[in-house]
């Protein structure tokens, strides 16, 4: 399984690129396959997920690998972060089949989005997906309370989709129970792609619009500050050593 990073061709690692180039069969969600068309080779078989859903896609990849095929499944970002790596292992364990499985890491959205914003993740952070398709909303709320209370910087994945519209403002409400309204919030959409955009706001003024499935939202901790349109969370150097 190869993570192809956030979108830009030069953020695909050489190892992920090699895994795609050397595959006999490449499987993936259409959007991700579109991002790697330049690396596909003429003789390769390409299976896109417009033909298959997630579980079927992973099952098919395992089946093909079991029968000796060299299969590479592509995922956006990192395959082990809110992506297919877990499901592939779950299915392999369930079926008692074990073709060799290699996970090639990728640049995750939290890294690429943090880089666009400046340095918001320099101290402890928690990552929470707001998608309640596979996780009960009560569990997500519990984690939001815990992370907010413990003063973690909070990365919000899957903040909003066409059908799931209320979660992001509910999350904001929960975090506001523990943090002041002026806490910085950074929003990055389509990091490293041609339509990349970033916006800084505060918990109080955080816009509901402009946030969709291509967006990652990062909420600062009690020490996070903004400077020259960047978002920065100090690690503590100033307190310990002074900065002159
Ligand atoms: N495996 C991926 C995450 C998939 S979940 C990874 O490691 O990054 C999908 C969510 O990831 C999106 O809803 C969005 O919150 C985030 N995301 C993925 N790519 C992004 C990008 N280029 N810019 C901003 N957010 C992104």
The rounded distance, in Å, linking the Cα atoms of 3 and 147 is 27
Q: Look at residue 239 and tell me if it is in a domain.
A: no
Name residues of the chain where pLDDT drops below 70.
Answer: 50-52, 244
Q: Look at residue 89 and tell me if it is in a domain.
A: yes
Give me the domain span that covers residue 6.
Answer: 2-95
Ligand 1, atom 17: closest residue by C-alpha: 109
Residues 52 and 137 in one domain: no
Please give all residues whose beta carbon lies within 6 A of any atom in ligand 1, as ranges: 6-7, 75-78, 81-83, 108-109, 113, 157-158, 188-193, 213-216
DSSP labels for 58-118? HHHHHHHHHTT--EEEEESB-TTSSSTHHHHHHHHHHHT-------B----HHHHHHHHHE
Per the DSSP assignment, residues forming a β-bridge with 186 are: 200, 218
**In this predicted structure, what is the pLDDT of residue 242?**
82
What pTM does this model have? 0.95
Q: Look at residue 242 and tell me if it is in a domain.
A: no
**In this predicted structure, what is the pLDDT of residue 52?**
67
Helix H or strand E encompassing 19: helix 14-21
Write out the two tokens for 124. 């402890």
Q: How far is the CA of 83 from the centre of ligand 1 (A)?
A: 10
Residues 74 and 29 in one domain: yes
The rounded distance, in Å, linking the Cα atoms of 191 and 126 is 20
Residues 215 and 122 in one domain: yes
**In this predicted structure, what is the pLDDT of residue 210?**
87
Last residue of a domain, one of 95, 124, 158: 95
Question: Can you tell me which residue has the tokens 């792609």?
Answer: 193
Residues 159 and 197 in one domain: yes
**In this predicted structure, what is the pLDDT of residue 147?**
98
Residues 40 and 143 in one domain: no
147 within 8 A of 171, measured Cβ to Cβ: no
Q: How far is the CA of 76 from the centre of ligand 1 (A)?
A: 7
Write out the two tokens for 150. 């413990």
Cβ atoms within 10 A of the Cβ of 206, count?
Answer: 23
Residues 213 and 125 in one domain: yes
- Specify the ligand 1 atom closest to the Cα of 131: 13
218 within 8 A of 186, measured Cβ to Cβ: yes
**What is the CATH classification number for the domain harbouring 197?**
3.30.950.10
Domain count of the chain?
Answer: 2
Q: Look at residue 162 and tell me if it is in a domain.
A: yes
CA distances from 49 to 30, 206, 208, 219 (A): 6, 34, 30, 33
- Specify the ligand 1 atom closest to the Cα of 107: 7
Ligand 1, atom 5: closest residue by C-alpha: 82
**In this predicted structure, what is the pLDDT of residue 51?**
61
Residues 89 and 131 in one domain: no
Residues 135 and 73 in one domain: no
Q: How far is the CA of 185 from the centre of ligand 1 (A)?
A: 17
Q: Which of 111, 112, 216 to probe ligand 1 with, by most ligand atoms within 8 A of CB?
A: 216
Q: Look at residue 42 and tell me if it is in a domain.
A: yes
Residues 152 and 176 in one domain: yes
**What is the CATH classification number for the domain harbouring 84?**
3.40.1010.10
Q: Look at residue 244 and tell me if it is in a domain.
A: no
Residues 61 and 129 in one domain: no
């Amino acid at each position: 399984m190869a993570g192809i990073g956030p979108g830009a061709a030069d953020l695909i690692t050489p190892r992920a690129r090699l895994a795609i180039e050397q595959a006999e069969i490449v499987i993936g969600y259409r959007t991700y396959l579109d991002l790697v068309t330049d690396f596909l080779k003429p003789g390769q078989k390409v299976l896109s997920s417009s033909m298959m859903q997630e579980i079927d896609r992973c099952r098919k990849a395992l089946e093909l690998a079991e029968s000796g095929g060299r299969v590479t499944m592509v995922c956006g970002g990192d395959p082990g972060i809110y992506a297919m790596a877990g499901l592939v292992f779950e299915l392999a364990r369930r079926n008692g089949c074990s073709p060799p499985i290699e996970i090639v890491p990728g640049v995750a959205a939290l890294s690429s989005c943090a880089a666009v914003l400046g340095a918001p993740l320099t101290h402890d952070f928690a990552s929470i997906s707001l998608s309640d398709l596979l996780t009960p909303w009560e569990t997500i709320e519990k984690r939001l309370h815990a992370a907010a209370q413990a003063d973690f910087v909070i990365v919000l994945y899957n903040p909003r989709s066409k059908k799931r519209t209320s979660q992001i403002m509910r999350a904001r409400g929960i975090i506001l129970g523990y943090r002041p309204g002026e806490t910085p919030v950074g929003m990055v959409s389509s990091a490293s792609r041609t339509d990349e955009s970033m916006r800084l706001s505060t918990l109080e003024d955080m816009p509901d619009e402009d946030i969709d499935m291509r967006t990652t939202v990062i909420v600062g901790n009690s020490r996070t500050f903004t400077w020259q349109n960047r978002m920065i969370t100090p690690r503590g150097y100033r307190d310990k050593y002074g900065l002159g």
